[in-house]
Structure 1
Amino acid sequence: MMSMSASGNIASVLCYELGSSVYSHHLINQLKHDGYFENLRMIYSDYTSMYTHRCNLSPRQSWLQLEDKIGNISTRHRIEPWHNMWLFTVGLKLLEVMVSTLTFNLDWGSGVKLRNIPAVFNSYKVWGGKMYGMAVPHPGYVAMLSDAKHDFEFETGILPMVVPPLPWVNPSQGGYLASPTKFVRSYRDVIGQEEDTIDQSDVTTVMDSLNILGSVGWKINQRVLDVQLCLFRNN
């Protein structure tokens, strides 16, 4: 709810995001249960040392060298990703629950109180000549959240990293340390096509390019951030 726009979200996109969030939490819990992070800590500690000293090996080669010495953690802790349709279906069920059960009470003043108001409702909006189903939060609920909370909460998967990312050594391993990271991001409604194509291709050069981009430091432009926060708070 905190991540929903006050003007509403396209229902299909929101369903996919909700399903992805569920999968992310499931993946992290499963990896934690399997002892993945203990094994990751051993390799990552040595990797950051090599990363800091800028050895002659590429990030991918450095990681593979450490895995040869310590062990391949990606093979030992392999968890099959959910297909896009599964993510969408899980998110759709969650959205149905939100629409049917999530309510709030509203005090209009002068002793007038409304109870059990739906916090989210379905609507439709036309963009570019096409009609889209929308999930829209009630304005009263949005105002209540705005008054109660001023801090922003974001999923770790959409935030920049403050430590070196995992190098891409294969299309299913790289990026964030815990949160799943997609090697290819696409809005096409094709289930599994990208993954099948990647598995049959040599993407070593692409992975090395991503690793180089991931090694570039970043800095927040405070003036731009202030404008974005102002617009976000007053949306």
Structure 2
Amino acid sequence: MASHTDLVARIGEAGAIPANRPLDHARRIITAATIGTFFGTLAGILFNMGQLTLGATMLVFIPTVIMVILLVVVWQVLKTPRSGDPVPVIARTLATAESPYLRYVKSGANKGLIVPVVVAPADGSEAFRSVILLRETEPGKQVHDPEVGTLMALQQIEPGMGELANIAEVTPEQIELRDRLMRRPRILSNNAPALPMRRGVLERTPWWAAAQWWGGIAAAGLISFGIILLLA
């Protein structure tokens, strides 16, 4: 298996598409506003503890409850829009000289190891390269590189994009494709083009995403703090 010294970085050069769909904006702003409302309410209670009655103290939590309900709606109820249905694929792990230390994600909810792969869609469309994140299954238990050439049944979340995810049920087409790749690995070239990835909704890149995030926290915090001042 051929490898580049910086294969993950090379795949990353395909670019990242901003999370700029209407639901992405809503999720980013409402998540930030929920955080701001909570901390603004907490600060307001501590600042005005002597002036708030028991009834007023109960009322000040209403905005936080409303924001939590909105948070559940935008993340759990509303479905992420796609430009097409997910595509079942077979991904094969690639070799890279980049150290696991450089490829390890140590912060955030999704901790784990980034691994480069080349992907063959089961529908016969063009192969591509991407990366997957092997997540920690237990806190603090570090993930190690799988053997180069390991085949995985996954799904391409959105046609034309590089994001991959686990698939609920392996399809017959994936089983057939996996068997063919085991017998004839050269039919899938390691030099397929890389596809861009869509940025996470809560990433603060580009600048307008950061403005929505920090502006949402600040505005919601000030509003909730001001409501408590009025009640006090």
Q: TM-score, normalised by structure 2?
A: 0.24
**Which has the larger helix fraction?**
1
The structure having more radius of gyration, on CA atoms, is 2
Q: Which has the higher contact order (CA 8 A, sep 6+)?
A: 2
